[in-house]
Structure 1
Amino acid sequence: MPSWNDEETSSEEECEVVSMDMGFMEEPDTTVEPLFCGQLELAHPKCILHQMRPIKRVAFEGPVTGRRFYGCPVQENSVNCGVVEWVDGPWPTVLQRCLCKLWEMFHEQNFGRVQDKEKFEKELARLKSEHERELAKLRTENDKLCIEYTKLVDDVSKMFDWQDCRVDKQVYQKQVGEEELEKKKKELEEKAMLKVQMKKLKLAKEQRCILQSQADTSRTPGRL
C-alpha cells in the first residue's frame, strides 16, 4: 500500500502513481494538505472534458479518506470532470471499514448535534415568545402604574394646593383676629379712660356741691 511520510514534498517526482481508476468518478470531498497541493506541473494527465492540467488534492470522504488524487481544476459555475487520476491505490479492506465506521460515527454525532440545535432553536423560540409575552405584560402594568402615578401626583398637588390655601386662609384669619383684638383693646381702653374721666368729673362735681353746701351753711347764722 503506498503512503507518504511527513517529510514528503509535493514535487511530481516523489508522487508515484500506484493505480488509476478508469472512467469518470465524481470528485470526493477534500481537505487541505500543504505537502500535496497546487496544480500539476506535468503536461499529462489532463482532465477529460476541459483538457486542463489537474489540481493535486487529498480525499476526505468515506473509505477514500487520505487518498491523493488529481482532480479537475474547474470547480464553480461549470461541469467538473471529477477524479482525473488516483495517486494512491485503494486502502486495505479493514482500513476502509474502519474509515466508514469513523465517518458513520461522525455523521451520527453530527446528526445528534443537528437535533440538539433544532431542540435548542425550538426552546429558544419558546423562551423568546414567553419573554415577549412577559414584556408585553410588564409594559401594560407599567402603563397602568404610570397612569396611577400621574393621578397620585395630581391628587398630591391638589392636596398641597388646598393646604396652601388653608394656611393662607388661617394666616388671614389670624391677622384679621389680631386686628379685631387690637381694635377691641383700643375700644376697651378708650371706654376705661372715659369711665375714669366720668368718675373724676362726678367726684369734682360732688366736691363742688359739698363746698357750696358748706359755704351756704356758714353764711346762714350770720344773717340770723
Structure 2
Amino acid sequence: MGDEENPAALVEHQPSWPRRASRLLSEIRDALAGLTGGETAALDHIGSTAVPGLPAKPFLDLQLRISPLPGEADLCGRLDRLGFVRARGARPDSPGVDRDIPRGSAQADPAVWEKLLFWHEDEHAILHVRRADSPWGLYTIWFRDWLRASPEARHRYETEKRRLSAEQRGKADYDDYTRAKTEFFDQVQSEFETWSSNRP
C-alpha cells in the first residue's frame, strides 16, 4: 500500500477507515475490562484517516485517554492479544513515542506529556495511549473536528501534507514528515482552539 520509495506516501481517503477504527476501538474497550481507569477511558479515532475526504498515510491513528496511565507490562499483556505491540520508533529520537512534545507553559507537571505507543502490523493501526488530562489528547480531538467542519482548513492541511510528503521520497522513515506537520499544527493551534471554544 502506498509508495515504497516514500515512507510518507499519501493515499486517498478510504470509506473503510472509520469502520475499521470503530471495530478496533471496540476490541480495545473490551480488553480494558478490570483495568484501573478503564471504565471511564475515552477511545478516539484521530488523525487524517478520521477526516472524510482528507488524504492520509494508510495507517489508522487511534487514541486511548485514561487515568492513571497504565503500567506498560499490564497494558502490553492486554493489547498483545489483539495484535498490538509496543512501538519504539524508527530512530532513538522518534517523536511521540514515549512522550509528546510539550506545548505552551500552562502544564507544570511534566508527566502530563508521557504516553505509550502501540502498533498493529496486520491492521496498519497506531494506538496512542495518553493520560486523560493530556493536552495533546485534547488537541487531537479539536484539530480533527475543526478539519471535519472547515473545508478551507482541510484544504490548507491537505496542501501542506502533499508538499511535505513529496519531500520524503527516498528517506528511510517518516519522522521528518511528522516533525514538519507539527510546525503546521503550531501555526493553526490558535485557530482550532478558538473554533472549539465557540462551538455549541
Same-fold call, TM > 0.5?
A: no
Give the shorter-chain TM-score range: under 0.3
The structure where helix makes up a greater share of residues is 1
Structure of larger gyration radius: 1
Which structure carries more relative contact order (alpha carbon 8 Å, separation 6+)?
A: 2
